[in-house]
């Protein structure tokens, strides 16, 4: 059967690395604050607040034994709140624009990267309604982003809608496009793909209207992401190619790398692993050339995924380790979790289940720390898969149930389907095949509702395999053939081969040995071409069919 869902994890030592902050003079110049001019400020209570701002910016140094990013930038956050006390909103706003190494992102963007979503919400909440309408639109958009990271998608949508309304009122097409794009991303997370496409199309239209070529490329990439998830890989590829072309035309090296990475992901989904490696290597090269550490970590992680699918687990782990190291250096907890989770899954593939569990537990801890509900569900699902492989089916079911509960709480329809499918697999292993079918049926229903062709095929594949165990061969063939047709249509060759192998086995049980051998040969051809681990099992099945064929001819 097909085990779904892959995610991340963490190790405590040297987790966040160190940050060297910009010089105090740079920050004071950004804030237009002069210590000598403070004497003229009245009343004294107000003067004391400004003095506190300068002291925090100039004199605060994070204790060397402290290794938490929030403590490193504490001086800026304290300065922000002192400026809020005197209602100096303009200067408070500028605090968020301080560039923080190692990746030189604005403070607020960096806080999000570090997983401090609640802190971001407090910052934007203080500024909301204190400046002009344009800034309110920006604050609302940023609040939506923070809540989206926390998995509070419906709350995020409320903020994006408010941002959109203000942008339309004041005719700010740029902010309008951003709000539409973020609504599209959030509806994608909720599994409402038609709605996501609608918003991304509107974002794309605005970007073209105002001549925002960079925004146009981003919108095209987002549309590609939706179609990629829906299993419409060739359509996704068209959007990614357009995004790549724009990035090259405007000299956006970061966008070029991102588009190449997305194309690599599509070829990965199509089972064209060697082509995927080419694109991810190009992405990696660009990221290193321009010093995009985040992009470098993403490209390394993607290369790891491809080698994992090729069964080259040790090579995959080398890439995951490199991705992990960068994530720790730049303090990107989300990417750190993905890298550690991927390492856990590589150990899982090697059969080192207890080591896998250690990494996946750390992944779970990171997700809970930063409030990433979607990541928490993914980690729980992966722990379930690992316990399933240990034969601890009841424990696996506990984890899958927790994953399912989170998916339903945050409205993640895709995650809900995956959890239901995994529950079906575990109940089938317990011999409770009819209960398993109930779960596969629910997964199939969700996949069809949200238009996820890949998920629909996987649900049919697993349902067909459960029917095979029940010796309902005719019905098993019916579901397997339906799955085969879907995987053929969307070009998912790896899954195609898996279904072909199931059909071969079913025909073997029915005594249709010529058909069994034909299907097995087709599966073998694909597995051989892809160079994946399933090849050995398929070869064994082919030998078994051949022996039965020889025996029947005697």
pLDDT digits (tens, 9 = 90+) for 6-63: 333 323 333 344 556 888 888 999 999 887 887 788 888 998 999 999 999 999 888 7
CB-neighbour burial class of residue 52 (10 A; exposed 0-12, middle 13-18, buried 19+): middle
SS3 300: helix
| SS3 at position 226 | helix
Give the per-residue pLDDT at 2: 44
**Three-class secondary structure of residue 106 per DSSP:** strand
pLDDT of 4 over the 50 cut: no
Q: What was the pLDDT predicted at 155?
A: 95
Residue 17: per-residue pLDDT: 44
Q: Does residue 311 come out as left (phi exceeding 0), alpha (psi in the -120 to 50 range) or beta?
A: left
Q: What is the mean pLDDT of residues 501-521?
A: 95
Phi, psi of 100, rounded to the nearest 5 degrees: -110, 125
Q: Output the pLDDT for position 468.
A: 94
For residue 99, with 0-12 CB atoms within 10 Å meaning exposed, 13-18 middle and 19 or more buried, which class applies?
A: middle
Q: What angle do CA 154, 414, 165 make, to 5 degrees?
A: 25
Q: How confident is the model at residue 129 (pLDDT cuts 50, 70, 90)?
A: very high
**Exposed, middle or buried by CB within 10 Å (0-12, 13-18, 19+), for 200?**
buried
Q: HSE on the CB side for 460, CA within 13 Å?
A: 25
Which helix H or strand E contains 144, and what residues bound it?
helix 133-149
- Yes or no: say if 58 and 80 are a contact pair by the CB < 8 Å rule: no
Taking the C-alpha atoms of residue 479 and residue 163, their distance in angstroms, rounded to an integer, is 46
Query: For all residues of the chain together, what is the average pLDDT?
Result: 91
What are residue 483's DSSP bridge partners?
none
Task: Determine phi and psi for 18, rounding to 5 degrees.
Answer: -120, 155
């Amino acid at each position: 059967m097909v085990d779904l869902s892959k995610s991340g994890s963490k190790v405590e030592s040297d987790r966040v690395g160190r940050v060297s902050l910009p010089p105090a003079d740079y920050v004071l110049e950004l804030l237009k604050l002069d210590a000598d001019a403070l004497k003229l400020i009245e009343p004294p209570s107000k003067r004391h607040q400004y003095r506190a701002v300068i002291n925090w910016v100039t004199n605060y140094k994070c204790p060397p034994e402290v290794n938490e990013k929030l403590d490193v930038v504490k001086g800026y956050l304290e300065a922000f709140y002192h400026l809020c006390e005197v209602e100096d909103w303009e200067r408070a706003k500028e605090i968020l624009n301080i560039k923080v190494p190692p990746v030189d992102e604005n403070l607020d963007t960096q806080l999000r990267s570090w997983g401090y979503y609640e802190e971001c919400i407090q910052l934007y909440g203080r500024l909301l309604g204190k400046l002009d309408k344009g800034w309110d639109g920006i604050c609302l958009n940023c609040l939506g982003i923070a809540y989206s990271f926390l998995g509070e998608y419906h709350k995020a949508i409320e903020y994006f809608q408010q941002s959109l309304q203000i942008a339309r009122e004041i005719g700010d097409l740029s902010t309008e496009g951003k709000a539409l794009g973020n609504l599209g991303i959030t509806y994608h997370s909720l599994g409402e793909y038609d709605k996501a496409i609608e918003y991304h199309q509107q974002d794309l239209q605005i970007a073209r209207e105002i001549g925002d070529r960079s925004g146009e490329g981003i919108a095209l990439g987002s549309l590609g992401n939706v179609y990629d998830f829906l299993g419409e890989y060739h359509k996704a590829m068209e959007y990614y190619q357009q995004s790549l072309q724009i990035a090259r035309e405007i000299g956006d090296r970061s966008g070029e790398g991102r588009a190449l990475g997305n194309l690599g992901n599509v070829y990965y989904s199509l089972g064209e692993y060697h082509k995927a490696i080419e694109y991810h290597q190009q992405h990696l090269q660009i990221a290193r050339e321009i010093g995009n550490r985040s992009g470098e970590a993403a490209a390394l992680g993607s290369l790891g995924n491809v080698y994992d699918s090729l069964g080259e687990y040790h090579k995959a782990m080398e890439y995951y380790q490199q991705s992990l190291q960068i994530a720790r250096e730049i303090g990107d907890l989300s990417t750190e979790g993905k890298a550690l989770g991927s390492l856990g899954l590589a150990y899982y593939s090697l059969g080192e289940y207890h080591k896998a569990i250690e990494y996946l537990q750390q992944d779970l801890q990171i997700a809970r720390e930063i409030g990433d509900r979607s990541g928490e569900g993914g980690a729980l699902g992966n722990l379930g898969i690992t316990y399933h492989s240990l034969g601890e089916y009841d424990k696996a079911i506990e984890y899958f149930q927790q994953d399912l509960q989170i998916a339903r709480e945050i409205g993640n329809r895709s995650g809900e389907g995956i959890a239901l499918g995994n529950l079906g697999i575990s109940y089938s292993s317990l011999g409770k095949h009819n209960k398993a079918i109930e779960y596969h049926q629910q997964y199939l229903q969700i996949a069809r509702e949200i238009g996820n062709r890949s998920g629909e095929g996987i649900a049919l594949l697993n349902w067909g395999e459960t029917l095979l165990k029940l010796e309902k061969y005719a019905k098993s063939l019916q579901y397997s053939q339906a799955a085969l047709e879907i995987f053929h249509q969307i070009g998912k060759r790896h899954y195609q081969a898996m279904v072909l192998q199931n059909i071969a086995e079913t025909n073997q049980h029915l005594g249709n040995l010529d058909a069994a051998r034909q299907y097995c040969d087709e599966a073998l051809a694909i597995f051989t071409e892809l160079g994946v681990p399933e090849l050995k099992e398929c070869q064994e099945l082919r030998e078994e069919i051949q022996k039965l064929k020889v025996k029947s001819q005697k």
